[in-house]
Amino acid sequence: MKLDRRLADLRAALKRRGLSGLLVPRADEHLNEYIPASADRLRWLTGFTGSAGLAVVLGDRAAVFTDGRYQLQIRAEVDAALFELRHAIDEPADAWLAQTLKPGDRLGYDPWLHAEEALAKLRRAVDGAGAALVPVEPNPVDEVWTDRPPAPASPVVPHSAVFSGEEAAAKRVRIGEAVARAGAAAAVLTAPDSIAWLLNIRGDDVPYNPVALAFVLLGTDGQVTLFLDPARIDPATRAHLGNGVTVEPRAALAPALDRLGAARAAVLVDPRTAPVWFAERLRASGARVIAESDPVALPKAIKNTVEQAGARAAHRRDAVAVCRFLAWLERAAPEGGITEIAAAERLRALRAEGERFRGESFPAISGAGPNGAIIHYRASEATNRPLAPGELYLIDSGAQYLDGTTDVTRTVLIGETAGELAEMRDRFTRVLKGHIAIATLRWPKGVAGPHVETMARRALWDVGLDYDHGTGHGVGSYLSVHEGPTGLSRAALPIPLAPGMILSNEPGFYAPGRWGIRLENLLLVVDAPFPGAAKPFLGFETLTLAPFDRRLIDPDLLTVSERSWIDTYHARVAHEVGPLLDPADRMWLAAACRPL
């Protein structure tokens, strides 16, 4: 069905329900970044394939909003004759609604697809326009999406404490105590990675994320009710869950919330990550909602010693694949015949040879030339570009291993020369300077990601340049590659960085229509005391092991300490990864890692 027909059918469905419009976010009932095909209503309606976006459909106008990562992509994928294309930060949806809605309009929303905090901002704009925000179930999109894929239902499997470092029973007790300290009798958990971490389980319901889609009610005593189809749990997983976990079908969720309401219980619900349906249902049944953060999020982000060791081991195995790939690329790409898709498939195949590999951690961003300037580009048969001599090639990819999750970006020059080489080297080196600024940072305990993120931008700001995405995100332990609650971003929550957290370090620069540069390693927060310091200090341990393209580094732009960092890092890469490679690739790595 063509997109204009889909939009017309949706408008007809809204008219039948007496609605003036509908909010269509890219979200599922768990408000995940990565969602199953059955929940990707925004893509079905608009053609937009990015991981963050919102459409507003009215009777005579429609708009799609997304952030800076996707501004080039949305223009390539969405028909501007059907939808206005808006920057979600510069032209937010609430401002658009305030200007566009008319008094008396009824704007529908699916309460399963919006968090209470985000919805409140939209509600203020709608109310200010004299319109009304109206909950609608079932979702009107589902009424007209006639070929909607079935919901996923993968088996739920145990995740051994050999990799998690802590038995699930101990986690349940620990988090239950945190719920009690918050003044609640129970907590609602909706984030699949929180549930996977808490119960030491994994699944395959969502692409690139080893999770099962479920909901949990957690009591202060650590007792858990897990809501998903019991048929998905075999006897081995049932035994793994233990007597402290009751499994109920999804249909039992609403009655369970109603019982909490009847008891006038206080229930913790995260207003930023849980669908507003939960808070609305609980309040309607008589419960008191405590709006606090998901009690699992921060403990999950702070990896224990077993998870930290697993991350180091996973990154060493990943480094072997990445270095083999880069060696192959340097030899083969200048000869021609290699495309973006072929290169990404080659890297995946090399990773798959590694022990404990379970798949990619996100769709590889494999962008040659101008496609590299599309921040979250995903190659398709229609856009698949050959890697041509004289162009930059950006590869951002990662893997899921039983003992850790990886995410690494390198930008390389195809061939030896380029017409824009001087400009490319300047921008590459400035991005690298920002990367080094974060990697070498030491800071007093209590500092949060937003406080330090600007250090990565200084070398670009010095010449009037910037990039339109955050510098870093949290990373899970064989879980989501984008993990909260911390991040190196101006938009991140001001939660202090703590030992055990793993974050990405990925400054970049993008020349639209020409090329893009991003350089990413993963970092582990560690204690980094100064002798005689008045307070505890923290720092980063770099986990990722792969060389930067020396041809794109301008040593004259680097300080002595920056050059020293690069040489030391490259020496470490050669020392740790070189012995794991065959002779030819080892020779390539030695040359790639020689001192500046």
> Of the candidates 17, 102, 3, which has an alpha carbon nearest to the alpha carbon of residue 55?
3
Say how many Å lie between the first and final Cα of the chain, rounded.
56
**Beta bridge partners of residue 246, listed in sequence order:** 225
Question: Which tens digits make up the pLDDT trace of 357-388?
Answer: 999 999 999 999 999 999 989 999 999 999 99
Whether pLDDT at 518 is above 70 = yes
Burial class (CB in 10 A: 0-12, 13-18, 19+), 268: buried
How far is it, in rounded angstroms, from Cα 545 to Cα 536?
A: 28
Mean pLDDT (the chain, rounded): 96
DSSP assignment letter at 529: P
> Of the candidates 240, 155, 159, 221, which has an alpha carbon nearest to the alpha carbon of residue 193?
159
| 174: its two tokens | 């620990």
Question: Which tens digits make up the pLDDT trace of 131-159?
Answer: 999 999 999 999 999 999 999 999 999 99
pLDDT of res. 416: 86
Pairing mode, if any, of strands 157-158 and 201-202? antiparallel
Task: Identify the band that residue 72 occupies on the pLDDT scale cut at 50, 70 and 90.
Answer: confident
Decide if 375 contacts 402 (C-beta within 8 A): no
**Average pLDDT, integer, range 194-199:** 98
| 451: its two tokens | 């406080």
> Of the candidates 543, 544, 514, 545, which has an alpha carbon nearest to the alpha carbon of residue 427?
514
What is the CATH architecture assignment of 302-592? Alpha-Beta Complex (3.90)
Note the pTM of the prediction, 2 decimals. Answer: 0.95
Decide if 168 contacts 199 (C-beta within 8 A): yes
Whether pLDDT at 545 is above 80 = yes
**Average pLDDT, integer, range 303-310:** 98
> Of the candidates 95, 90, 73, which has an alpha carbon nearest to the alpha carbon of residue 26?
73
Annotated domain spans of the chain:
3-144, 157-296, 302-592
CATH 3.40.50.150 at 3-144, yes or no: no
> Of the candidates 156, 182, 170, 157, which has an alpha carbon nearest to the alpha carbon of residue 244?
170
Adjacency order of strands within the sheet including 245-248: 245-248, 224-227, 215-219, 186-189, 266-269, 288-291
pLDDT of res. 3: 87
Whether pLDDT at 1 is above 70 = no
Please determine whether the domains at 3-144 and 157-296 fall in the same fold group of CATH. yes
How far is it, in rounded angstroms, from Cα 98 to Cα 113?
A: 21
pLDDT of res. 88: 87
CATH 3.40.50.11310 at 157-296, yes or no: no
CB atoms within 10 A of CB 470: 22
| 435: its two tokens | 């990367």
How far is it, in rounded angstroms, from Cα 232 to Cα 45?
A: 31
Q: Which residues contact 432 (CB under 8 A, 6 or more apart)?
A: 519, 548, 553, 558, 562, 566
